[in-house]
Amino acid sequence: MQGIIRTIRDGSGFDILLLGLALLYLIIFSAFPIVYNIIMSLQTVDMFTLTSFNRPFVGLQNYYDIFSQPVAGTIFWNTVKFVFLSIVFQLSIGFGLALFFQQDFPGASYLRGLFLAGWIMPALVVGAIWKWLFAGDFGVINYALTSLGIADDRIFWLSDPNVALYAVIIANIWLGIPFNMILLSVGLASIPRDVYEAAELDGAGAFERFRSITLPLMRAQLGAVISLGVIFTLQQFDLIAALTQGGPADSSNVAQYWSWQFSFQTYEISLGSAVSVLMIIFVIVVAAVYVRSTRHEHSY
Amino acid sequence: MLQIEIDHLNKHYGGFHALKDVNISIKQGSFVALVGPSGCGKSTLLRTLAGLEKTSSGDVRIAGRSVIGKPPRERDVAMVFQSYALYPHMDVEHNMNYSMRLKRRPKEEISERTRTAAETLGLGNLLDRLPKALSGGQRQRVAMGRAIVRNPKVFLFDEPLSNLDAALRVHMRSEIRKLHERLNATSVYVTHDQVEAMTMADHVVVMRAGVVEQQGSPLDLYDRPANRFVAGFIGSPAMNFLPATVTDNGALVLDNDSTQIGLNRDIAAGCQFWIGMRPEHLSLKPCVNDMAIDATVTGIESTGSMTFVVLEVASQPVVLAHSGRPVTRRGDHVRLHISLDNLHLFDRETELAA
């Protein structure tokens, strides 16, 4: 007993202890749920078999069932649009703001800090506020659009199947901008000023400096922000729950919300698992890109 | 022909007056060193020439044309930064030919000029390396290569050797000087190291607190410093200063001591001076036209070829330099011989040479 205590205190035992705790955590809270989820996606799981582990094995039947759902195509394209548009606008607006706050003007750092306010708010709260903004009858967005003459008539943002998805995307873009901006600001700040000055002396104008110095030197940060953005966007659940619940008629439904609906609303748990497994595969690909992009970080 | 004319140049940062009425004329083909302690404005002046800093008033002309308000790229100047400021994502070749690629020069010309510059600097086999795979000395060469491929009117160097080790620094000094002569360029070189300034430049500008204290050829500054600051800054080990006062009978007498310095000058009684003596103008042996004072040896430093003896004279430390090995020991009482032909006098109030 004394020997064990001594190794833990002084020797390699302490390393093993730390490693063991981390591994235990990962196994219990990450590896096990993922593996269990994959197993469930290959079984028939319903309310009656939920508590037993010995359930009928059905192979890829659940995956087949998902793809034969009539809404599968809609939800797939909704998810693609949701992720793609969110990322494009979060990134470009976030990058633009990061570049803007990189300029030396009074209060730049305070204003940049204020942008974080949006990020630290729970997405459910953000969703509730956007729901008011988007409201068809009394929403301030409609008021602004009609009084400025941009729209002739009120837009029913959350109940019109043609625009509901875009309303959710707009709210999600707003939510994601601060994260993009802060991460990209850090990257921009790490580029030494004299590299830009050297480029200026070499004859590069502002656009050329952005294209040939900023962009390539920000490659690692951009890769990281895009990958994390994809992962966060695929996790975005609260906002959808608060705004449209995937409706009307699945017109704003996306994969992650669909998976939840299967598992916890209609209790087709095996279908929900199958959807989430497909998403895991996609996220693993994105994570691999993320890990690769961090290898391109430059030292100055 | 004058290549650079700096005319009553002033620079303010908010309430801080960084450059005060600077006037410098630089001839085509000359190598000018801006030297001074940190914060003296030498780097600001260089960056003003490059166009990286705005001027508050005054004029800067390069090749006869005023460049005030012109961006760096319209000035035809190249700069070597202290940190080298290489583009970390470009290999050596692309670092060097970035400026030509921006100007969309023909491919053959770009590769020809890059290769020539690389060979001049001994970088021929490193062209495809990224900066992070280079040593400090190699990075420094790439930074120079980037400047010389442009064949600019003026080269600006901002303490380019301060990040190198001592041996490489001495080697690169002569390399830069040789390069300057080969390219027949006009160079402005900022350094805080007066030895660098003295050994490399044709014309040295000594600055302090935004003011040009004195400018001239290196030996001119050494032999005829205009004030106590320049006298103390130029030369290593530094000039010794002893306080002295002119007595009623017109003799110059050391303070804290009654030693009289026999000077044949007509100076009003009561005037207070610093007597400046370079370490090599002091001797432990009698020399021509000298005077002797009692001194105590308090320390000895030998470099092998030179010996520096620290003495106490009139309760002031004084450094003496002589060639060869030490001839005294710590604690020895000696006679210090001062060569009167090489004494400098500085007014204690104005610090100007008298």
Q: Indicate the residue of B72, B89, B132 with minimum beta-carbon distance to A201.
A: B72
Q: What is the pLDDT of residue A83?
A: 94
For residues B129-150, average pLDDT:
90
Is residue A20 included in any domain, yes or no? no
Asked if residue A33 is part of any domain, the answer here is no
**A236: domain CATH number?**
1.10.3720.10
Give the percent of chain B with pLDDT over 90: 56
pLDDT of residue A244: 87
Interface residue B81 vs chain A (CB under 8 A): yes
* Contact residues on chain A for B52, CB-CB shorter than 8 A: 197, 200-201
Q: Would you call A203 and B77 a contact, using CB atoms and an 8 Å cutoff? A: no
Of the candidates A224, A220, A225, the one whose C-alpha atom is nearest the C-alpha of residue A178 is A225
pLDDT at A113: 81
Taking residues B137-143, what's their average pLDDT?
Answer: 91
Let me know if residue A25 belongs to a domain: no
Is residue A205 helix, strand or coil? coil
Q: Where does the pLDDT of residue B121 fall: very low under 50, low under 70, confident under 90, or very high at 90 and above?
A: confident
Share of chain B above pLDDT 70, in %: 99
Residues in chain A predicted with pLDDT less than 50, given as ranges, are: none
Residue A53 lies in a domain: no
Enter the ipTM: 0.84
pLDDT at B212: 93
For residue A197, the chain B residues in CB contact (below 8 A) are: 50, 52, 72, 79, 81, 85
Residue B22's identity, in one-letter code, is: V
Residues B318-339 have a mean pLDDT of 91
**Is the per-residue pLDDT at B157 higher than 90?**
yes
- pLDDT tens for residues B179-234? 899 888 899 999 999 999 999 999 999 999 999 999 999 999 999 999 999 999 99
From B245's Cα to the closest Cα of chain A, the distance in A is 51
* B63 contact A CB<8A: no
How many domains would you assign to chain A? 1
B77 and chain A in contact, CB less than 8 A: yes
In a domain, A77, yes or no: yes
pLDDT band for position B271 (cuts 50, 70, 90): confident
Q: What is the pLDDT of residue A299?
A: 57
Report how far apart, in Å, the C-alpha atoms of B18 and of each of A32, B12, B68, B69, B155 are.
66, 6, 17, 18, 23
Q: Does the structure show a pLDDT above 90 at B252?
A: no
- Per the structure, the complete domain to which residue A241 belongs is given by 61-293
B91 interfacial to chain A (CB closer than 8 Å)? no
Percent of chain A scoring above 90 in pLDDT: 33
Question: What are the tens digits of pLDDT across the range A175-226?
Answer: 899 989 989 998 999 899 999 999 999 988 889 999 999 999 998 888 889 9
**A170 vs A98, A126, A208, B143, CA distance in Å?**
20, 12, 31, 47
pLDDT of res. A298: 58
Domain presence at residue A251: yes
What's the predicted TM-score (pTM) here?
0.81
Contacts of B79 in chain A (CB under 8 A): 197-198, 201
pLDDT above 70 for B264: no
| CA distance to partner chain A, nearest, from residue B49 (Å) | 11
- Does B146 contact A198 at a Cβ distance shorter than 8 Å? yes
Q: Shortest CB distance from B85 goes to which of A198, A219, A299?
A: A198
Tell whether A1 is covered by a domain. Answer: no
Predicted pLDDT of residue A224: 86
pLDDT band of residue B87 (cuts 50, 70, 90) is very high
* pLDDT the model gives residue B268: 76
Per-residue pLDDT at B259 exceeds 70: yes
The answer to whether residue A228 sits within a structural domain is yes
Q: How far B143 CA sits from the closest chain A CA (Å)?
A: 10
pLDDT given at position A157: 84
* Average pLDDT value for residue range B53-69: 90
- Written in H, E and C, the secondary structure of chain B is CEEEEEEEEEEEECCEEEEEEEEEEEECCCEEEEECCCCCCHHHHHHHHHCCCCCCEEEEEECCEECCCCCHHHCCEEEECCCCCCCCCCCHHHHHHHHHHHCCCCHHHHHHHHHHHHHHCCCHHHCCCCHHHCCHHHHHHHHHHHHHCCCCCEEEEECCCCCCCHHHHHHHHHHHHHHHHHHCCEEEEEECCHHHHHHHCCEEEEEECCEEEEEECHHHHHHCCCEHHHHHHCCCCCCEEEEEEECCCCCEEECCCCCEECCCCCCCCCCEEEEEECHHHEECCCCCCEEEEEEEEEEEEECCCEEEEEEEECCEEEEEEEECCCCCCCCCEEEEEEEHHHCEEEECCCCEEC
